[in-house]
Amino acid sequence: MKKSWLSLIFISLIAVAFVRNGSEETAAERVMASQQIRCTQDSLFIDSINLRLPLQEIPTVRQMHAVAKYRIGRWAKVFTVIKLQESGADGQYSYLAREFNNLTGMRMPRGLRPTTAVAATKTNYAIFANWYDCMVDFGHYLDFTVNGFRNKFGREPKDEYELINHMFGSYNPYSTWKRDVFWLLKNYRFE
């Protein structure tokens, strides 16, 4: 009995801590959405939108964005535009994406955050078992980055542009990268 009350209090505190203003989701909503994703050894399923994707074949940008909305939530568009910028569009994938399922150009983290990477390349890029593990890892990175933003500014990023500005330099130091990501945020249609 005592354990269930403590669990309920803990879950309530987590939910309250993550409640955000406006259309932003709560932590509980994010967990519920990610629980709608089922993975088998070779496929990913989202029953609510009748989607089945093989884990060893990189899906289209639209399919990937649909999964990101469930797995990453508010920052799904950030994942999708960085995936486009770093590994290319449908069928025109980078070497890292084709060979190592690294869709976002992630480096192997140095123990500061959780990772789903299984190894690193000789140049320290993360290697993933499949494309979905890369998405999950990028979600961990975004959680870490948003937390850093919150610690620095005392609030959440107001939009994708503010988050990209915060990532710029540490994620990618090239101004052309930032310009291209901003263009994709503004112009690419995901639906």
The model's pLDDT over 144-186, given as tens digits with 9 standing for 90+, comes to 999 999 999 999 999 999 999 999 999 999 999 999 999 999 9
Cβ-defined contacts of 95-100 (< 8 Å, 24+): 96/121, 96/125, 97/58, 97/131, 98/58, 100/125, 100/126, 100/127, 100/128
Handedness of CA 104, 185, 71, 22 (dihedral sign): positive
Contact between 167 and 146 (Cβ < 8 Å): no
Q: What is the pLDDT of residue 28?
A: 47
Intervals of the chain under pLDDT 70:
1-35, 191
Report the chain's mean pLDDT, rounded to a whole number: 85
